[in-house]
Amino acid sequence: MATVGNQLPTQAVSKPTSGKHGNVLPLWGNEKTMNLNPMILTNVLSSPYFKVQLYELKTYHEVVDEIYFKVTHIEPWEKGSRKTAGQTGMCGGVRGVGTGGIVSTAFCLLYKLFTLKLTRKQLMGLITHTDSPYIRALGFMYIRYTQPPTDLFEWYDGFLDDEEELDVKAGGGCVMTIGEMLRSFLTKLEWFSTLFPRIPVPVQKVIDQQIKARPRKVPQKETQEDEDGFAESGRQGERRRSRTPRRTPSPRRSPKRSRSRSHHRERERHGPSFDRELERERDRQRKEREGRDRDRERGDRGDRERRRSRSADRNRERKRSHSGSRDRRSERKEKERDGGDDRSRRKDRDHHKDRGTERERSRDKKSRGETDDRRHKDDRERHRDERKAKRSSRSRSRERRHKSGAEEKSRKRERSHSRERDRERDGEQRSHKRSRSKERSHHQRESSNDHSRHRSSPSIE
């Protein structure tokens, strides 16, 4: 189990069957989040730089070129984009729970490398790159976030004494070597305002023992610079001692102990980077003091000039006030004289203005009334025309209905008359047929009677 920052514990992913020396890299922790802080991950995924520009990069070499041109530090947030002043506890800058900011291009490109699923050969190309130290730094950070804790020292072992320098802080001000950065990766959990994946306690103990057992090499340039600095400090100390009287040594401090030994001890504890930071801090404090002194001198000069200008302005204002009061008195007298005439003129003007405004209002009312009357008349005429049109349409529809009804009635009558005629004809035909049939039957009877008579007459004879 491995905990990442303030994330929930996640199970470690098993290594591939290819082994340690295969080209496929194992992944430790979460396969989706790369064990990043949740706030950093959400800012990376929502940043337009990652969604638009990095989305177009599809190959490993394109991402390496982007790192070479865009990365200038390895801090997770850009300078001035995240305010953590006054936050304590779980809202501190280390925990990553407080307010977010603008995520750095370095971490966007780091997660882009994770999406490419780097091989062992590609990762070795990153950490041994010769063009930029930031390419190497992102490769080492990729190892710290994704590789198992037991393999970290084996990855970093050959680079713990690397002397290549880089500035890891946003905005500058924190220069360190690759070796110092890797030692902080192995021994510290915090990195500026985020957390690395936690290393198990037994593995951390083994790493600490291996780092202590490994002798640390001091670069030759730093030793020469330190010797030159000590020589200059010794000369300055001798000059100061020659000018100032000697003091008796304090009982607490032995005369044999010198400042150089304490300086050597501090240098052994903190390293050459600590000495550089101390020198920079002293230079900064000296510059601040000089700036304060200059500001004070400028402020004193400004105050003197302001006092002089104020006194001159006061004298001028007094003269102007006296002359202005005289002018005001004369103006008041003239106004009092001309006040009656002005008032009468103003009244006449106001009266004429009122009359003009009343006339204009009456004209406006009349014009409005005329327009309203015209509108009403037009509306009435329209209503009348509409009513007439409706009535005419209704009368036409009624006439059409009446005509159609009369035509239908006449048609019905004609049909009934034709039917009656047909019936009469049929009756007449039937009566003629009956009369003919009766006549025929009568003739047949008469003819039969005549025959019978003729037959009976010879017999009688």
* Tokens, residue 271: 């390293």
Is residue 39's pLDDT more than 80? yes
Q: Residue 149 — very low, low, confident or very high, per pLDDT cuts 50/70/90?
A: very high
| Number of other CB atoms surrounding residue 113 within 10 Å | 22
Closest CA to 159 of 217, 75, 223: 217
d(CA 184, CA 140): 12
pLDDT of 66 = 95
Specify the range with the lowest mean pLDDT, choosing from 54-58, 186-190, 265-269, 419-423: 265-269
Structure-token pair, residue 252: 């607490």
Integer Cα distance of 339 and 78 in angstroms: 73
Distance of CA 55 to the CA centre of its chain: 18
State phi, psi for 193 to the nearest 5 degrees. Answer: -110, 35
Residue 269's pLDDT is 44
Report d(CA 35, CA 198) in Å as an integer: 10
Considering only residues 202 and 214, tell me which one the structure prediction assigns the higher pLDDT.
202
pLDDT tens per residue across span 224-275: 556 566 556 555 555 444 444 444 333 333 333 333 434 444 444 445 566 6
- Within 13 A of 428's CA, how many CA atoms are on the CB side? 6
Q: Tokens at residue 170, please?
A: 């946003």
Question: Rounded distance, CA 129 to CA 60, Å?
Answer: 13
- pLDDT tens profile 270-299: 455 666 767 777 787 778 778 877 877 877
> Average pLDDT, stretch 21-34?
87
Return the pLDDT at 229: 60
Residues 135 and 126 sit within 8 Å (Cβ to Cβ): yes
Residue range 82-111: mean pLDDT, rounded: 67
- Residues of the chain above pLDDT 90, percent: 31
* Separation CA 111–CA 47 (nearest Å): 12
Kind of pairing between the strands at 165-167 and 190-191:
unpaired
At residue 410 the predicted structure's pLDDT band, cuts being 50, 70 and 90, is confident
Say how far residue 273 (Cα) sits from the centre of its chain: 40
Q: What's the gap between Cα 60 and its chain centre?
A: 29
